[in-house]
Structure 1
């Protein structure tokens, strides 16, 4: 059987898909990315937002059309949407041949065999079960990979349904994480992106204390790994010990993704977020002081139920004052099953749209200012390829996380620059929130 995989959604979902690919290959099947020429296609879905579910349904409908045209035989739907809508998926997608929730990814061979035998499996395990330790086939890149250190979430934010989809927070044992990291390094990975819904909580369930600060130096000690990037750190869990580790470890990129969602005390409380606006401000001041040059990323929600114009203005003023270099800005989405979806004082859609546009424009101005400040500087760049259209190489600086931030475009001699290698690039200009530069060695006459 030839099985194609399509992965939608976040990094954690991608890791699960990579695990399924490994299990499918080990079971003796041929594996491909995408549906072309396949007998069966597995769609690993996201279910966090309606927009993501709409994307998944659109992808499924495309596969249904291929199935009706005789271009494939079976469709399997896995992941968060399959889990969240498990009671309605059969009726919603009558042409789908099997379903697999977020627990039991390692059982994908069994689901494939059942579907091939004419059954219609519905495979839903315990979402609170320990994280299965299975191998994976990294599909993101030959030189960077996600490193998932935990599953699930114990934060009960009012707007979010992830704890109900992914289960309670479960840390992976440290030795398993380090073993996987060493294997990734031996496979040529140079950047590890540490991910979980809340990496700052790591270890609390296994060891009775938060142990991220102890784990990171061990990851940094692995030969071959040059960058360690952190997603996501909750602001109220960032300790002085963790800040000191980040500051002193040269392999930890000085880029921190810290979702805050809002700065108004009343909004934070309504969102069921821990801490206050002043505690967030104090943390960001401390990070700027202790980690010179740190790039801060966050996520912000506007239009949350009850948000006033004054509270929205407070959020804008905060952004202007603290100039966060990276931010994902979102309008509140009333997700079915979330506490916030049933709250009174829902904000009008037109008001949410206007606030989102204003906040986005404000953030783009901050990004432009940041980019202008880099002109003339020499920065490290991990080359990712060559763009035939621009006739420039491109890559990521330490301020750019894959898929969510921009890239650095730079000149270099063809054949002299290789994807997966690090280069020193002198920034000569900016364009649309991204940097443009030249190899520093070209200007100076020697490799830096």
Structure 2
């Protein structure tokens, strides 16, 4: 018998892709820990003997990163540094047969909804009573709260329904109980995530229930910030805005991916909304929630996109002056309805268009940040780096938005709220000093 097999197993989980994947990894960690199996996230000490790679299969770059990560772990196994390599997540869900053929050294592949099967590999039982119990991979003061799985939308570019299935909401009581547990663990901020937030509740309650869920979460004692990610613009339930305005601990922040601003592209993408309808919605949102921060995501290089379509996007950004914008280049995904179209925009051109659009947004972002100089904001401290503290206002989410750089002689703690007067502003970050609240 090998000496290594006498040692207690230690599992390292590597998570790629989005925050929804991170939550899945946290849930797996919680289940393993409850079964008395040692588990870590992204372990740099390399003292583990088993790896689970939670893959992303969203776009080409993400697929390549997932495959390279799997190959790296397989190489460690070949060198005798690992006993087992398991693969789960979206890439594995979508391309399981191909992966088994191409990388047979992986011990087992699992889909996105096969947590009990992964646990069987460790002779562990799935503990239903642990729903919501997670081992956080984030700093302990914030966490993601996944309110539903899957998506019923039919956007022509998107492969997510192929990997995550149709929309399934989680019951309100379950989500409130999970939020209460997170607060007990030290969490101050939760970010609500789903493939599509506004659809929440239609499957189990037969009506859109996001406003009710928000009220219930806002009642959770100790939960200081609630943030909304990934709202779909078509048939947007306006009651959400009343809740955001009324409840102090719901951030005046909305992440609403619009994907494009040209009617021909919106139609080809099957977004179920026109530019005029988006114009009206954005005006309404800002009227109902004064001072709200609007974040959106756009796609460049969709099949058939013209130079005029790109100009339409730039004009749209100048008109609405979004606070935050992210851009993806179109990825031609098999299994989607857009895959039947000719991918006629070269990759270099897709990237050049994305750069053009981001230059417009960069200027808008700089101007909006300059307006904040001299103002004071409540800031959540995230970490200390290079002798300075980094935090966020209620208008900024983790990793994708502005950070507030704070030079302070006073010791600050991650998870602490302080008031910061802004003294300098850059394209995407702010700088300031702590003042009395």
In which range does the TM-score fall when normalised by the shorter chain?
Answer: over 0.9
How far residue 433 of structure 1 moved from its aligned partner, in angstroms, is 1.6
SS state of the match for residue 97, structure 2? coil
Shift of 1:426: 0.4
The one of 258, 266, 273 aligned to 1:260? 258
Other-structure match for 2:19: 11
Q: 1:300 aligns with which of 281, 298, 301?
A: 298
For 1:171 and 1:180, the matched residues in 2 are separated by: 14
In the alignment, is residue 98 of structure 1 matched against residue 108 of structure 2? yes
Corresponding position: 1:192 with 2:190: yes
CA distance in 2, matches of 1:9, 1:64: 20
- CA deviations on 1:352-376 (whole Å, 9 max, x unpaired) are 2221110121111111111111111
1:54 aligned to 64, 89, 104, which one?
64
Is this contact kept in 1: 2:365–2:427, CA < 8 A? Answer: no
Given that 2:15 and 2:42 are in contact with CA atoms closer than 8 Å, whether structure 1 keeps it comes out as no
Q: CA deviation at 1:146?
A: 0.5
1:22 equivalent to 2:30? Answer: yes
Give the one of 402, 413, 420 matched to 1:418. Answer: 413
- Structure 2 partner of 1:431: 426
Deviation at 1:134, TM superposition (A): 5.0
Match of 1:232 among 222, 227, 230: 230
Q: CA 1:31 to 1:345, structure 2 compared with 1: closer, same or farther past 3 Å?
A: closer
Q: Distance in 1 between matches of 2:340 and 2:51?
A: 37
The aligned counterpart of 1:156 is 154
Kept after mapping to 1: 8 A contact 2:147/2:200 = yes
Report the Cα offset of residue 47 of structure 1. Answer: 0.8
Give the distance between the partners of 1:229 and 1:347, measured in 2 at CA.
Answer: 35
- Corresponding residue of 2:287: 289
**Are 2:251 and 1:243 aligned?**
no
Deviations 1:21-75 (A, max 9, x none): 1111122211122351111100111111111111111111221221122211110
Tell me the TM-score normalised to structure 1 length.
0.91
Q: What is aligned with 1:64?
A: 74
Structure-2 separation of matches of 1:191 and 1:133? 20
| Deviation readout 1:197-239 (Å, 9 max, x if unpaired) | 1110000000110010111011011110010000111112322
Kindly report which structure 2 residues correspond to 1:271-286, keeping only aligned pairs within 5 A, or say none.
Answer: 271-286=269-284
The 1-side partners of 2:181 and 2:195 are apart by: 23
1:240–1:93 CA distance, 2 compared to 1 (3 A): same
Cα distance in structure 2, aligned partners of 1:200 and 1:254:
16
Aligned residues: CA RMSD: 1.6
Q: Secondary structure at 2:122's aligned position in 1?
A: helix
- Equivalents in 2 of 1:300, 1:84: separation in Å? 24
Q: Secondary structure at the match of 1:206?
A: coil
Inter-partner Cα distance in structure 1 for 2:47 and 2:238: 53
- What residue in structure 1 maps to residue 332 of structure 2? 334
Which residue of the partner structure matches residue 380 of structure 2? 382
Matches within 5 A, 1:313-392: 313-344=311-342, 346-388=344-386, 391-392=387-388
Query: By how many angstroms is 1:109 displaced?
Result: 2.0
| 8 A Cα contact 2:197 2:229, kept in partner | yes
Q: Confirm or deny that 1:44 pairs with 2:54.
A: yes
Residue 302 (structure 1) shift: 1.4
Q: Distance in 1 between matches of 2:98 and 2:284?
A: 48
Q: 1:135 offset after TM fit, Å?
A: 2.3
- 8 Å CA contact 1:229–1:253 kept in 2: the answer is yes
Query: How many Å apart are 1:432 and its aligned residue?
Result: 4.6
Runs of 5+ in structure 1 lacking a partner? Answer: 115-129, 442-447
Q: 1:113 offset after TM fit, Å?
A: 4.3
Is the contact made by 2:234 and 2:271 (CA closer than 8 Å) also made in structure 1? Answer: no
Worse-matched range after superposition: 295-304 or 236-245: 236-245
Cα contact 1:37–1:71 (8 A) shared by 2: no
* Count of equivalent residues: 423
Deviation at 1:270, TM superposition (A): 0.5
1:87 alignment partner, one of 83, 97, 104: 97
**Gap regions ≥5 residues in structure 2:** 1-8
Is 342-351 or 150-159 further displaced after alignment?
Answer: 342-351
Contact 2:362 2:427 in 1 (8 A): no
